[in-house]
Chains A and B, each alone.
Chain A
């Protein structure tokens, strides 16, 4: 009888320890990992673009890994073209609100006023099961619009554009951007996101006015908190 009681105590203690261990792992693990991005792209490998998907709307923008002065990065050369690279991943913007990247512009496209050809843009996409309810933040680098211009895209009201760099930023110089997408979403849409981030993308397009743009992207970090 005493042995049965002892065995019961051992089982109970073991179960309690397992429960405490699992709870510790579940509670503490996110705290350790939250400063690490959900996904980081350094583009150091020649095949680094293979994990990205491309969609071509009109002609293919030439995206390739370029090595220059000891640095490797994505070079985008767009000539009367509109194709973008996207990477699907899921995370909550509220929990992991930061996205950062480096970019530089070597050549802005010549275009008419209000034409939506941009030398470089980075997308944060919040897909919805009803596709026309999907929302998107677009961070633009444009030489025509003033910095901090915020506007809906002419294509759809759920695509909101934010000019984060303008023509005053010197061309050919690497610039590091870091955005809090959770706060930016609130500023652009008036509410906090109710859907998870579903993809990030970047594009250099020149299809509307058939111009030429050359831009570079590097060190894209997605989904982390500080």
Chain B
């Protein structure tokens, strides 16, 4: 993989990426937290409904909840970190090409018509780059 193809900077100074990152984080974490909480309460509700005797409910489910808290803390932090990393990658894949195109167009607007637009293979935007470059070919080189 050449230098161009490798992602070097995952967090761009781009408001678009920040917006993508924010929305993708919310879209990943909110449903996870919502479904997790629902399952948590449903399971414990059903269990307590089967045990019913209050002291037995506390004695049986209390230690389970304490263990679960540790598991959630120990497992939750890496999980959130992984999800955040994933969100950064996704947001970079979406915002990166836009950011690059914006920079290239800026150079072209300044009069540098020798610039050619190029995207990474994984961005899957080659047809767009090709069309822009065809337009650039027709422009006088200054």
Contacts and interface: CB of A to CB of B under 8 A. Distances in A.
Interface in A98-143: 116, 123, 125, 127, 129-131, 134, 136, 138
Given A130-B41, A199-B52, 16 more contacts: A57-B55, A57-B60, A86-B52, A116-B55, A123-B54, A131-B45, A131-B47, A131-B57, A134-B48, A134-B54, A134-B57, A155-B55, A156-B55, A156-B58, A159-B54, A159-B58
Interface residues of B toward A: which range? Answer: 10 to 19
A153 interface: yes
Interface in B31-82: 41, 44-45, 47-61
B69 to A, nearest CB: 13
Contacts of B45: 129-131
A131 B56 CA distance: 12
A78 to B, nearest CB: 14
B53 A55 contact: yes
A84 B48 contact: no
A127 B53 contact: no
A153 B52 contact: no
A85 B46 CA distance: 18
A57 B53 contact: yes
A193 B106 CA distance: 69
Interface of B: 41, 44-45, 47-61
Nearest to B57: A131
B54 A55 contact: no
17 contacts: A55-B50, A55-B56, A86-B52, A123-B53, A129-B45, A130-B41, A131-B45, A131-B61, A134-B48, A134-B54, A138-B54, A153-B54, A155-B59, A156-B54, A156-B58, A158-B54, A199-B52
